């Protein structure tokens, strides 16, 4: 029996798991960061890039109504601020498409042994049925660049962007998109499959559906519960079929979705309305779709960000639901309430699934890098508590490796372990990234 690795504080991350022959063996714990194609690569041409051009002006004008702190209006690293139109256009993004070698060198220097990234469907299949071999070769090089550095690739197949021809047939509202997605997935499996063990077919199906089809905040800006339901169901079907395809073609792979699970609490613990609203949100937003994928997962991907404090106010015979954001609490630049304990509650509940868990995203926008180190440490402390209580967590990916294009908000939110100067494209490692590195190297939080 190999004794589990000890660390100075007396615990180890990789919980000992029984192997097939019965003895305990320590597993490698993956520490890394995540990105997604559209947010970092630059020069993508898809449904988002078109939408950005259409909406950038109005977004910058709307932003004018808000009081922004000076460090957001005049960012240290340069780059657009929320009042500028160019903030909302992904354009060159971080030019990661051309600089991935440099970026992976940084990840390696920070001690990362895994990296999550996504493949851009619109690059692979810019026209229906026409696959671009040059782009496939690009991602082959990306995967090889990770492997060369001893970094395990976790590959997402779909992270919120569609080729234009998919948008034109109605996107994920159309059942045919499931078939087309499967054909694209098949192509990737056939060409890149042998170098990838960990697969994430769909990123956060519920968040995309909610923002694009319920709140009308993402393209195609719809507010229609019926359509939202259809879209979510299509995602789940696509996910399950991809799961089966992956296992048919690549024995031994590990497949799971990345699920965004919030932590919801009632504003008033004694209010029945607040409590019922929390239960409904937990069910519809977080847990319902996880039941639908039962039996089709080798691991669970958990994306966890913040606490939602829910208050319900009756008004004119209707109920209005508020997510109360308290500026006096510990919050990120985007006003999200930082609540590390929430990750523990989600992990404990996910234990019911009896599967390995990877934290596929956890992070915050913090331009001044004042909160990030503490954010990471505190979340990892709660992750460790869950591990020591028997939850099988096997990896943690901070969101994100680099500052990047934060969807409808644009460039101003700074999520990166590494600061990006959007004018010069210069990368600068933030102090918090070095604190994270210390944790990785010690395999523990040692203070």
- 286 sits near ligand BGC (criterion: CB under 6 A): no
- 90 sits near ligand BGC (criterion: CB under 6 A): no
Using CB atoms within 10 Å of the CB of residue 269, give its burial: 0 to 12 exposed, 13 to 18 middle, 19+ buried: exposed
Q: Of 139-147, 199-207, 249-257, 308-316, which segment contacts ligand BGC by CB under 6 A? A: 199-207
Q: How many CB atoms neighbour CB 142 within 10 A?
A: 22
Identify which of residues 258 and 383 has a Cβ nearer to ligand BGC in the complex: 258
CB-based contacts of 315, cutoff 8 Å, min separation 6: none
- 417 sits near ligand BGC (criterion: CB under 6 A): no
Q: State the minimum distance, in angstroms, from the CB of residue 308 to ligand BGC.
A: 13
Residue with the two structure tokens 């340069």: 78
Interface pattern 253-282 for ligand BGC (x via CB under 6 A): -------x----------------------
Describe the chain by its helix, strand, coil percentages, rounded to 5.
45, 20, 40
- 337 sits near ligand BGC (criterion: CB under 6 A): no
Q: State the minimum distance, in angstroms, from the CB of residue 406 to ligand BGC.
A: 5
Q: Specify whether the CB–CB gap between 161 and 44 falls below 8 A.
A: yes
Q: Give the C-alpha separation, 128 to 92, whole Å.
A: 25
Identify which of residues 81 and 118 has a Cβ nearer to ligand BGC in the complex: 118
Which of 12, 15, 31, 36 is close enough to bind ligand BGC by CB under 6 A? Answer: 36
CB-based contacts of 70, cutoff 8 Å, min separation 6: none
Q: Give the C-alpha separation, 413 to 406, whole Å.
A: 7
CB-based contacts of 291, cutoff 8 Å, min separation 6: none
Interface pattern 200-239 for ligand BGC (x via CB under 6 A): ---xx--x--------------------------------
Identify which of residues 19 and 217 has a Cβ nearer to ligand BGC in the complex: 217
Q: In the numeric block, which tokens belong to residue 402?
A: 């680099």
Which of 406, 430, 432, 435 is close enough to bind ligand BGC by CB under 6 A? Answer: 406
Q: Give the C-alpha separation, 359 to 139, whole Å.
A: 23
- 361 sits near ligand BGC (criterion: CB under 6 A): yes
- 375 sits near ligand BGC (criterion: CB under 6 A): no
Identify which of residues 365 and 444 has a Cβ nearer to ligand BGC in the complex: 365
Q: In the numeric block, which tokens belong to residue 364?
A: 């915050």
Identify which of residues 207 and 214 has a Cβ nearer to ligand BGC in the complex: 207
- 332 sits near ligand BGC (criterion: CB under 6 A): no
Identify which of residues 266 and 410 has a Cβ nearer to ligand BGC in the complex: 410
Q: Which of 357, 442, 445 is nearest to 5 (CA)?
A: 442
Q: Give the C-alpha separation, 358 to 28, whole Å.
A: 12
Q: Specify whether the CB–CB gap between 214 and 272 falls below 8 A.
A: no
Q: State the minimum distance, in angstroms, from the CB of residue 443 to ligand BGC.
A: 27
Which of 139, 339, 399, 436 is close enough to bind ligand BGC by CB under 6 A? Answer: 399
Q: Give the C-alpha separation, 344 to 380, whole Å.
A: 9
Q: State the minimum distance, in angstroms, from the CB of residue 400 to ligand BGC.
A: 7
Residues lying near ligand BGC in the complex (CB under 6 A) are found at: 36, 39, 203-204, 207, 260, 303, 361, 399, 406
């Amino acid at each position: 029996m190999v004794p589990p690795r000890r660390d100075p504080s007396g615990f180890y991350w990789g919980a000992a798991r029984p192997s097939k022959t019965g003895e305990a063996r320590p597993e490698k714990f993956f520490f890394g960061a995540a990105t997604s194609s559209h947010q970092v690569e630059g020069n993508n041409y898809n449904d988002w890039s078109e939408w950005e051009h259409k909406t950038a002006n109005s977004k910058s004008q709307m932003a004018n109504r808000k009081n922004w702190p000076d460090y957001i209006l005049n960012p240290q690293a340069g780059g657009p601020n929320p009042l500028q139109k160019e903030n909302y256009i992904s354009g060159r993004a971080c030019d990661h498409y051309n600089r991935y070698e440099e970026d992976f060198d940084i990840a390696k220097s920070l001690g990362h042994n895994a990296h999550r990234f996504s493949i851009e469907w619109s690059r692979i299949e810019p026209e229906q049925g026409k696959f671009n071999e040059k782009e496939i070769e690009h991602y082959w090089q990306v995967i090889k660049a990770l492997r060369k550095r001893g970094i395990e690739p976790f590959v997402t197949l779909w992270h919120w962007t569609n080729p234009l021809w998919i948008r034109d047939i109605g996107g994920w509202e159309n059942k045919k998109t499931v078939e087309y997605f499967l054909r694209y997935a098949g192509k990737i499996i056939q060409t890149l499959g042998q170098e990838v063990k960990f697969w994430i077919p769909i990123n956060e199906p519920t968040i995309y559906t909610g923002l694009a089809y319920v709140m009308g905040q993402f393209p195609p800006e719809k507010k229609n519960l019926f359509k939202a339901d259809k879209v979510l169901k299509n995602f789940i079907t696509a996910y399950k079929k991809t799961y089966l395809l992956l296992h048919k073609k690549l024995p031994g792979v590990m497949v799971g979705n990345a699920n965004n699970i919030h932590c919801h609490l009632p504003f008033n613990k004694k209010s029945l309305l607040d409590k019922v609203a929390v239960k409904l949100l937990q069910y519809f937003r977080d847990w319902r779709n996880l039941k639908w994928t039962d039996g089709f997962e080798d691991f669970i991907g958990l994306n966890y960000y913040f606490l939602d404090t829910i208050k319900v106010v009756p008004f004119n015979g209707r109920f209005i639901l508020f997510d109360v954001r308290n500026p006096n609490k510990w919050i990120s630049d985007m006003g999200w309430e930082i609540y590390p304990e929430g990750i523990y509650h989600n992990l404990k509940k996910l234990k019911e699934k009896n599967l390995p868990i990877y934290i596929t995203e956890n992070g915050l926008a913090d331009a001044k890098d004042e909160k990030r180190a503490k954010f990471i440490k505190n979340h990892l402390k709660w992750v460790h508590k869950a591990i020591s209580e028997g939850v099988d967590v096997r990896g943690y990916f901070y969101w994100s490796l680099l500052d990047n294009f934060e969807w409808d908000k644009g460039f101003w939110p700074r999520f990166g372990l590494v600061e990006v100067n959007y004018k010069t494209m210069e990368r600068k490692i933030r102090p918090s990234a070095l604190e994270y590195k210390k944790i990785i190297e010690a395999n523990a939080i040692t203070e």
